[in-house]
Structure 1
Amino acid sequence: MSFISRRTVLGALATTPLWSMSSVWAQSGALKISHQFPGGTISEGDFRDRLTRMFAAEVSKRTKGSLKFEIYPGSSLMKTNAQFSALRKGALDFTLVPLNYAGGEVPEVNIGLMPGLVTSYQQGAAWKNAEVGKELSRILLEKGVIVVSWIWQAGGVASRTKPIVDPADVKGLKVRGGSREMDLILKEAGAAVVTLPSNEIYAAMQTGAMDAAMTSSTSLISFRLEEVSKSLTTGRDRAYWYMFEPLLMSKATFERLTKEQQAIVLAVGGEMEQFAQSAARLDDSGVAAVYQKAGAKVVDLNAATVKKWQDIARTTAWKDYAAKNDNCAKLLKLAEKLL
């Protein structure tokens, strides 16, 4: 994590008496990391699972074993949508989760999957040290959550039928958008919205309960959606769908660590970001080969098509989000500065 971000987090917590605690608490049991993605190893599998394992190994190494971790992939510890709330309460130590999943609890976080607001990895990465990132971090800290690694992923669309390219292509279809804001756009375009976590998409498409699903390139691969799809729209060249999927830590857990342990957690978290972006980009390209091999038709987006989605987003999703509360309006304005 950058010096500015670390200073923001550490400074906000500097007045707590828990700073003086020893590492006895941390040594008494492993810290739990929960996520919804398929499990693998530190070198093989879904990069989000790999990232949590790399993070855990490096933090454990630098703290000389005073911090140990247990990783629970595939929502094996708790249901996907329960993770953010558990983090806030201190019932879970870490999670790597699409931030917008918590939008029902904290409306501001829906900015993490605001269609058309982030259109490149460079732009997403710039959020961390920009005003929008500082404001989002402040809001999350007030809610008991700390961003450890800033991770963005481009998304695509898997379809049981025709490719989903223009907004008009979703008319009459049952589509999973992945966020309230994406759902607003889909409804405007004439789709019937289906709401569920990405790890439940396969079953819904297999049974016909869903015609198409928008999700990250990595999830398009990891959840084997090529087995139930005839078409794929990739995000490898251009995308209107970028998702903020950070590694998050409970503030309550963070406060129980020593200053040295806190600094190590934040430093390693920041170092993971380069790996995450490289892995996400590889999956943006790799997903096309996976679907082509399975016999699916693969298409890409052009600038004109991205703008069509963005134009609808401005008058539906962006407008709706800004009207939620003052924080949302401020975050949107700050994010638009980076467009």
Structure 2
Amino acid sequence: MRIACVFLAATLLLSPHPISAKEFSISHQWMAAVDARDRAARVFVHEVQARLPEISFQIHPQLSLKMKAEEQFDALQSGKLAMSVYPLPYAAKKAPEFSLAVLPGLFRSVDAARALKNSKVSDRLQAIANANGVHILAWWWVAGGFVTRNREIAGPETVKGLRLRSGDSLFDLMLGRAGAIPVDLKSNELYSAMQADQLDGALTSYETFVSEKLYEHAKYFTAGSPSIWMFANPLLISKSIWDSLSEAEREVFEAAADIAEAYFVATQNDAEKRFIKTFTQAGAKYHRFTSEEYLAWLRFAQQTAWKEYFALSPTTESMLLEVVQTMLDDAGAK
């Protein structure tokens, strides 16, 4: 018996993977197997488990853990929740710098937003995330536009008097200065608000517009580049849990996140095409911003939302200027 115990102990010590299993919960607000954010999370899980089979995951779509969207960030900070696909600007009250991830007009396309990866700005955002108890594993950017019931949106003057939902306080500030009436709603409340004539239009991602079936109420929509609405939905992990991983485990998580990010990028062109096709077939009119309309929005955003962002913290002005410089450098290199 003693010999058997010694042999078992030696086997455990020599095992290439730790025997103790680890389980991670991943929470998010989107539909399972339909939205690319859920599918990319499953790609991440598959890639980790292919390399570390002793680690298991439970994905909880559509906020099935019964916590509100914003509460996921609190749960990440405390370590109660391991991971989340999280709309970064939702945490702007705790880290004002995160509003950069949806600042109106800043990113005219998803490709422009992706230029931030591995830049000084992304390093600074990672440091801010770490200081706030989370770690960014992957940057997932989604494009979106306007969907409205009663008026086509072109320049800033065309939103006057409309009740609009943007999902961000700085975006709301800009819309309000343009004469719109900002409405604070979650994405899963948009359909019922339009149906009840409590909302004239909204800005959100292409996939959310389709999954929430807003084409049943929409008469007009915008899509394509140039756009004034881009939103970062990164894959986050609790910093305390990230710190508890071994160096080898972190490397696996990062490699899996890179593969999932590449997968996610490939889904977004299809998401835009599906959005345009679905809404057009439902009878809605498609409008793509002209260069003049985009520049009008950009100038208006700089006078309103950007100006407010500058004043949020000692670091926001320099971060915004770094983003602009990064995009100029990227454009010059192409």
Fold-level match, TM-score > 0.5?
Answer: yes
Q: Deviations along 1:12-48, whole A, 9 cap, x unmatched? A: xxxxxxxxxx9566x15x21111111112xxxx1111
Q: Does the 8 Å CA contact 1:37/1:199 hold for their aligned counterparts?
A: no
1:306 Cα deviation (Å)?
0.9
Q: What pairs up with 1:1-339 in 2 under 5 angstroms?
A: 27-28=21-22, 30-40=23-33, 45-63=34-52, 65-77=53-65, 78-234=67-223, 236-337=224-325, 338-339=327-328
Runs of 4+ in 1 over 3 A off after TM superposition: 22-25
Q: How high is the sequence identity, in percent, across the aligned residues? A: 34
Q: Which structure has the larger Rg over C-alpha atoms?
A: 2
Aligned length: 310
Change (3 A) 1:178 1:258: same
Task: Work out the CA distance in 2 between the residues paired with 1:201 and 1:23.
Answer: 47
Q: Does the 8 Å CA contact 2:86/2:233 hold for their aligned counterparts?
A: yes
Q: Secondary structure at the match of 1:80?
A: coil
Q: Does the 8 Å CA contact 1:238/1:303 hold for their aligned counterparts?
A: yes
Q: Does the 8 Å CA contact 1:23/1:258 hold for their aligned counterparts?
A: no
Long gaps (5+) in structure 2? 1-16, 329-334
The range that moved more, 133-142 or 218-227, is 218-227
Task: Work out the CA distance in 1 between the residues paired with 2:286 and 2:307.
Answer: 32
Pairwise CA RMSD: 1.5
Q: Which residue identity is paired with 1:227?
A: E
Q: Does the 8 Å CA contact 2:95/2:128 hold for their aligned counterparts?
A: no
Compute the TM-score of the two structures, normalised by the length of structure 2: 0.89
Q: Does the 8 Å CA contact 2:146/2:222 hold for their aligned counterparts?
A: yes
Q: Does the 8 Å CA contact 2:215/2:284 hold for their aligned counterparts?
A: yes
Task: Work out the CA distance in 1 between the residues paired with 2:76 and 2:185.
Answer: 20
Task: Work out the CA distance in 1 between the residues paired with 2:19 and 2:24.
Answer: 13
Q: Does the 8 Å CA contact 2:108/2:225 hold for their aligned counterparts?
A: no
Q: Deviations along 1:229-278, whole A, 9 cap, x unmatched? A: 122111x2321111111111111111222221111111111222222122
Q: Which residue identity is paired with 1:38?
A: M
Q: Which residue identity is paired with 2:35?
A: D
Q: Which residue identity is paired with 1:296?
A: A
The range that moved more, 123-132 or 197-206, is 197-206
Task: Work out the CA distance in 1 between the residues paired with 2:79 and 2:69.
Answer: 16
Task: Work out the CA distance in 2 between the residues paired with 1:217 and 1:138.
Answer: 30
